[in-house]
Structures are given as C-alpha cells and as structure tokens.
Chains A and B, each alone.
Chain A
C-alpha cells in the first residue's frame, strides 16, 4: 500500500524532477564547453566528464548543434575496422551506401566505361577506402534509396552511408555521424525568367515541388501554417525523388523546387535555364553516417576528414560543384569541427 502510494507520487513528480536534473546537467555541460574545446585532440576516454557528456547530450541536442556531436579523430584500429580489414579476397572492400542519381554528388555516368559512379560524395568514399584498406578502389558501392539510409546502417548492410545525408538530432539517436564535410541549406530553384526571388512572398500563388517526406516538405508545411510562407503557395506537388521535381518544373507542372542547396545545384547543373533563387534559408551539414557503436570507425573517418579538408576537399569542389555553386567555396565549407561526443 505504502509503496504503491510512493510510486504514484513519483509518477506525478518524478518526471518533473528528472527534467529539472537534466536541465541542470545540460546547463552545466554548456558551461563546461569552453574547457573541452581547449584540448580537443587529447580528450581522454573515461573519467567523470563522460557521464556528464552522455546524459547532457540525450537531453540537449539541438539541430543547430547536431553537427558537433561526433567523436574526436583517431587513427587507432578497433573492432569495426578490424572486421573490415579481415575481409579477404574479392570481399576485402569497404561497403558504402551511396546515391546513384544525384548529379555531381553520386551518380552513374552512362557515358563512361562501365558507367562508373562519380561525384563529390564518391571522391570522399575513395579517400576513406584509401585510408582504411590502402586502396582507393576497394569499395563496394550500394545504391541506397533515401528512406533506407538509416535501416541499411542499422542492419549492417553497409559500413557507412555517404549520401548527402544531413546531420540531425533525430538521426543521431539512430546512427553515428562523422564531423560535417559540407555545409548547405534548403534553397529555392526556379526558372531564370521566373518572378520568384527566393524563399519569400514571391512564392505566393506558385506551385512548389518537394520530395515526399523530405525536410523541405516538412519545413514548407510548418512555414505555411505559421505564416512565414504565403498561404496561397501550393505545396501539394510531392514526388518520390527530388530529381522528379526538375521534370515537373521543366514540364510546367511546378513553378519552383525546394530542396537542399547542394541537390538544387545538382539540378541546375542539368538545365542551364534554371537557377538557385535567394540564399539558403536553413543551415544543414552533411556527414558520413555509421553504426552507432562503431566508435573506432567514426574516429577514423574524422581523422580522414581532417586531412581531406586540408587537402582534397577543394579539388573535389572545383571539379564537381564550382560550376553551379560558385567558384568561391566559402559558403559550402564545413565549419571547424568540434568533437563534443565523448562516449
């Protein structure tokens, strides 16, 4: 009797109490941030800060800071990397989930011998394979549809996904991300001759195409509700894949497309009569996604990225993206990484 009364009381106040504790921890964690930053490379595993870190992360992840929730770089092998290296013969390859339809990011060029995959994402994959297995071509690419990226990692069908994948808090609960390797944001794409000037009131009475279930669609729905977007904007046109929006746009079935700036640029690269309108109206970062417990692999990829940012990133940008995103890559450069995940 007594015990059950206590339990009932706890049920009422326990949640509130726990929330208060979490808030306090989060606050403490935020205050501690400058200290952890000071020695980023040498963060010692273990110690009391670990407990703080984990609990605070669970309660305090905000999408604006999600890109920082990754592990510090390290070249040490661990169980995951050992398992990859243990593959023999034909199968000694890194298995990577990629896109095959994103022009300039990951796509099969039908006019190359063997219809090879190429693009910005693919360059990065080759670099990671070079680092782990010593051979840039030791990669087995798997085409993964957008909505299977997470399950493919969780089921172990791929070692990692390099597929214009935005780092979000929701996804951080399911997979681990590397440090960001590209900065982008939702952007509007429309014909050059269009009166649309960006993500603003010029979208009134226009038909906007988005991929079903995409970040863009959610954002448009929310903004239309809140009034940030004119209520007369027609957002009912949704398609299975963002690329289908370019088809609708060219056929005059839609007036504008909203998608990641990077992908919008890939669409603009295929049609010289359309262009990106206005600046990105959100900020997002692409990261390499891996299994949540593949600590050694995450650290290793982060180390590769440290090198890659210094040497390789700009080359790849110039090859694939400068034509549509501009010669100046500043807006796309990932920020200096902060390795705030500690466990």
Chain B
C-alpha cells in the first residue's frame, strides 16, 4: 500500500539520495526505499498522511456499507424468505394433520358426511400440495429438504388413495374400510407427519441462520471507523502543532462525515437488533410453540376419531397394561397440547396474544371432560351415543376441538403480525444504512484529501 503513494519524489530540498546505479533490486524494495526517502521531507510526509487518511475513511465506508448491506439482506431474508418458508412448512405440516383429522371425521359420519367436512379435507390436501411446490422451488438442489419434499410428494397421492378406498368400502358397509383408514392414518402419522416436521425444522434452522446473520454488530466497520476518526484527529492535531491553525476545513468535514456515519452505523444497528430480537422473542418463538400446540390438538382429534373407527381393533401394551392405541395416543397428544398452551401463555406478551390462548385452554378443559364421557360410552358399548358426542350436533368434543383450533389460528395470526411489524422495523433501520455510509465515507475521504492538499499546496 505504501507503494501507492502518489508521485515519485524528485523534489526540491535535497537531491534524490538514491542514484539508480547499483545492481537491480525488486520493485517492492525500490518502492519501499522511495517511500522511506519521501518520508524524510514534509510534503512527502503530508502526501503519505493524506493517502492513509483517505484510505482509512474509504475502508471504513466500504466495510460499513458491506456489513450493513449483508445484515439488511439477512433481515430481508428473514422477513421475505425464511420466515414465509418456515410458516409455509408449518402450513404443510398443519394441513396434512388437518386432512387426516377431517378424513376420519368424514369417515365416522359415513353416508351422512357433511359437505363442510369434505371441503375441509380437499382444501387441506390442496394447501399441502401447493405448499410443497413452493417449498420445492426454494429448496437447494441436492439438499435434505429436497429429498423430504420429494418423499412427501410421493406419499400424498398414496395417502389420498387409501382414504378414498376407505370411504368407498365404508359406504358399502364393509369393515375393511376402517382398516384402510387406519392404514392411511398409519402412513400419515408414521411417515408423512415426521417428514413434514423435518421440513419445518430445516426451514426453522434456515430462519435461525438468517437471524444469526442479521443481528450481530458490524465490529469490523466500527473498528475501522474509530481508527479513521483517530487518524483524522491526529492529523488535525499535527497540523495545529506545526502551523498553529486550529481548523483545517477539509479535515473537519472529513471528521464530521465519519462521525455521523459511525454514529448512524451504531445506532441503526442497535435499533435493528432490538427490533429483530424482539420479532424473534415475541414472534417466532410464540409462533413455533403455537404451531406445535395446534398440531398436537389436530393429532388428538384425529386419534379420538380413529378410536371410534378402529373400535378396539388396535391395542398396545405399555408396562404390562393394555390400552387402545388411539386412546393412548390421544392422552399423549392432549398432554403436549396442554404443555404447549401453558408455554404459549407464558410467551404471550400482550392481550391480543394471551386472550386466544386462554380461550383455547378453557376449550381444552371442556374437551377433556367430554372426552371422558365419550370413552365411558364407548367402553360400555353405547357406540351411537359415543359417536354423537364426538361428531354429533351439539355438546360434542368436535365443538371443543374447533374452539381450540380457531383460537390457536387467531393467536398465530396475531403473533405473525407482531413478527411482521417488528421485523419490518428492524429491516427499515438497516436498509438506508449501506448507501448512507458509502456516501458519507466518500465525503469524508474527499474532505481528508482536500484538507491535506491545502497544506501541501503551501509547499509549492
């Protein structure tokens, strides 16, 4: 770098000390010698100082622009790419679980299946299919996500085929229809939902990575900024000592521009960080918990339905105790729903977030209570009563499930809004920073060069 010092110095003052007589040496060594020679004269020193100052300021501006741009891009990704993809993956996951639940509800109703339940199932399937297309478009070729999406794409029509067969046989009154539905459910619970969960986890990891890129302080730029300011200060002090002039306009302008840029950089980042971290803590974390709770409630509902479809055809033994597989799973899902809601209530930081969670909690309590009655009826052979309490007209567990589901959907909407607002604020704080820092640094560099040039001209 020192080799870039302007002009070779065949200057007045003293004759050039190096007659280029001796044997040839490397260009670098010659350059060093020249600079060393230049440094022995004041104009030479001034040139070097000017060059170093301009370089420092430009380096500061470049790194500030670059680092701010990287963070702003990451914040943009959080807002417009990884979060939508994460919530898209959550949508796939949810709509698959929802489809499974709707299929079992429709099956239970048999020939009396309502158009709503049929529509819900069809919508879920098409939401999942669309979601998979979006996810596929955003997956890196050869990545694990791509393999997962391909797997889900294959399983979806297979699942749908099984459900349709189940429906057909059920309408004909053949119990093998129930066996088909249980098989479809097994496919969903053991292959599709875990794959969808994988996808969701991967997308969440990408989101976390984008957050990780958006939030750290730009230490390099800040360090260079401080260094540039110190350099400018020292240069001004040196000028003052030598000339007794207090102000050098160029250097003062350079210092002012650099100071503004540095302050902007620090404050802008602090604000962006605060907003982004807030969007994570109040948005993303709540969203994850709420999504999980919603899926737990969907699974619980599916298992409740399936216990009536299976009618004791599937049991499992845990610690020597025998359980109906679906009732056993129902209890597990309800427990994780309960835990999820408690956690969501802790995370909710305002009325808009906590009210729907409270509603969901109270719905869940009623659901548990009604489910107990369903189980009693079922075990006592009152199948029709049990069925009426699950998918009937009034006072059903279905109402409770719907209550939980819509409340959670509301809570998710709210948290999504919270996230959107905070993350947008964060991104807004970062966006102009890059261009601003670049312009200010150019001004600063120009000021430094002009200031030093002014002094230099006094030697002509």
Q: A-side interface residues toward B, CB under 8 Å? A: 95, 100-103, 107-111, 114-115, 117, 140-145, 147-148, 151, 240-241, 243-244, 246-247, 250, 267, 270-271
| A243 in complex: contacting residue of B111, B176, B325, B379, CB < 8 Å | B176
Complex-state Cα separation, A271 to B168, whole angstroms: 12
Chain A CB within 8 A of B313 CB: yes
Complex-state Cα separation, A190 to B180, whole angstroms: 18
Residues in A whose Cβ lies below 8 Å from that of B182: 244
Q: Is the CB of B183 within 8 A of A244?
A: yes
9 pairs from A and B in contact (CB 8 Å cutoff): A103-B174, A107-B175, A110-B173, A143-B378, A147-B315, A240-B313, A240-B315, A246-B176, A270-B174
Complex-state Cα separation, A95 to B379, whole angstroms: 11
Q: Is the CB of B179 within 8 A of A244?
A: yes
Within 8 A of A (CB), among B278-328: 310-315, 317, 322, 324-325
Chain A CB within 8 A of B381 CB: yes
| Chain A residue nearest to B324 in the complex (CB) | A145
| A111 with B179, Cβ < 8 A, contacts A143-B381, A148-B315 known | no
A281 to chain B, nearest CB (A): 24
Residues in A whose Cβ lies below 8 Å from that of B175: 100-103, 107-108, 243, 270
Q: Is the CB of B111 within 8 A of A110?
A: yes
Known: A108-B383, A141-B381, A247-B180. 13 other contacts (CB 8 A): A100-B175, A100-B313, A101-B179, A101-B310, A141-B383, A145-B312, A147-B322, A244-B179, A244-B183, A246-B179, A247-B183, A267-B176, A270-B176
Q: Give the total number of A-B pairs whose CB atoms are below 8 A apart.
A: 90
Complex-state Cα separation, A142 to B324, whole angstroms: 13
Chain A CB within 8 A of B169 CB: yes
Complex-state Cα separation, A114 to B382, whole angstroms: 10
Residues in A whose Cβ lies below 8 Å from that of B173: 109-111
| Chain A residue nearest to B387 in the complex (CB) | A115
| A142 with B169, Cβ < 8 A, contacts A148-B322, A244-B183, A247-B179 known | no
Residues in B whose Cβ lies below 8 Å from that of A103: 174-176
Q: Is the CB of A240 within 8 A of B314?
A: yes
Chain A CB within 8 A of B110 CB: yes
Complex-state Cα separation, A70 to B120, whole angstroms: 55
Q: B-side interface residues toward A, CB under 8 Å? A: 110-111, 165, 169-171, 173-176, 178-180, 182-183, 310-315, 317, 322, 324-325, 378-381, 383-384, 387
B215 to chain A, nearest CB (A): 50
Residues in A whose Cβ lies below 8 Å from that of B324: 145
Complex-state Cα separation, A271 to B378, whole angstroms: 29
| Chain A residue nearest to B184 in the complex (CB) | A247
Residues in B whose Cβ lies below 8 Å from that of A271: 176
Q: Is the CB of A111 within 8 A of B111?
A: yes
Residues in B whose Cβ lies below 8 Å from that of A147: 315, 317, 322
| B312 in complex: contacting residue of A143, A244, A246, A270, CB < 8 Å | A143
Q: Is the CB of B380 within 8 A of A142?
A: yes
B319 to chain A, nearest CB (A): 15
Main secondary structure of the interface of B (DSSP, over half): helix
A189 to chain B, nearest CB (A): 12
Residues in A whose Cβ lies below 8 Å from that of B178: 101, 243
Q: Is the CB of B179 within 8 A of A243?
A: yes
Sorted nearest first, the 6 A-B pairs with minimum C-beta distance are: A100-B311, A141-B381, A110-B110, A145-B312, A270-B174, A143-B312
Q: Is the CB of B322 within 8 A of A247?
A: no
A296 to chain B, nearest CB (A): 24
| A142 with B110, Cβ < 8 A, contacts A147-B315, A246-B176, A270-B169 known | no
B433 to chain A, nearest CB (A): 60
Q: Is the CB of B387 within 8 A of A143?
A: no
| Chain B residue nearest to A157 in the complex (CB) | B379
| Chain A residue nearest to B108 in the complex (CB) | A110
Complex-state Cα separation, A190 to B325, whole angstroms: 29
Q: Is the CB of A111 within 8 A of B379?
A: no
B397 to chain A, nearest CB (A): 18
Residues in B whose Cβ lies below 8 Å from that of A270: 169, 174-176
| B110 in complex: contacting residue of A95, A111, A143, CB < 8 Å | A111
Complex-state Cα separation, A103 to B384, whole angstroms: 18
Residues in A whose Cβ lies below 8 Å from that of B111: 110-111
Residues in A whose Cβ lies below 8 Å from that of B170: 110
Residues in A whose Cβ lies below 8 Å from that of B180: 247
Residues in A whose Cβ lies below 8 Å from that of B183: 244, 247
Complex-state Cα separation, A270 to B168, whole angstroms: 12
| A144 with B312, Cβ < 8 A, contacts A101-B175, A107-B175, A110-B170 known | yes
Complex-state Cα separation, A103 to B174, whole angstroms: 7
A232 to chain B, nearest CB (A): 27
| A101 in complex: contacting residue of B169, B313, B325, B380, CB < 8 Å | B313
| Chain A residue nearest to B317 in the complex (CB) | A147
Q: Is the CB of B176 within 8 A of A100?
A: no
B155 to chain A, nearest CB (A): 14
Best-surrounded residue of A108, A109, A114 (most CB of chain B within 10 A) = A108
Best-surrounded residue of B165, B170, B176, B178 (most CB of chain A within 10 A) = B176
Complex-state Cα separation, A107 to B309, whole angstroms: 12
A183 to chain B, nearest CB (A): 23
Residues in A whose Cβ lies below 8 Å from that of B379: 142
B54 to chain A, nearest CB (A): 76
| A140 in complex: contacting residue of B165, B176, B322, B380, CB < 8 Å | B380
Complex-state Cα separation, A95 to B322, whole angstroms: 20
Complex-state Cα separation, A185 to B179, whole angstroms: 23
Residues in B whose Cβ lies below 8 Å from that of A117: 383
Complex-state Cα separation, A102 to B312, whole angstroms: 12
A324 to chain B, nearest CB (A): 13
Residues in B whose Cβ lies below 8 Å from that of A108: 175, 311, 383
Residues in A whose Cβ lies below 8 Å from that of B317: 147
Complex-state Cα separation, A247 to B173, whole angstroms: 15
Residues in A whose Cβ lies below 8 Å from that of B314: 145, 240-241
| Chain B residue nearest to A142 in the complex (CB) | B381
Residues in A whose Cβ lies below 8 Å from that of B171: 111
| B311 in complex: contacting residue of A143, A240, A267, CB < 8 Å | A143
Residues in B whose Cβ lies below 8 Å from that of A109: 173
Q: Is the CB of B383 within 8 A of A115?
A: yes
| Chain A residue nearest to B381 in the complex (CB) | A141
Complex-state Cα separation, A198 to B179, whole angstroms: 25
Residues in B whose Cβ lies below 8 Å from that of A144: 312
Residues in A whose Cβ lies below 8 Å from that of B325: 240
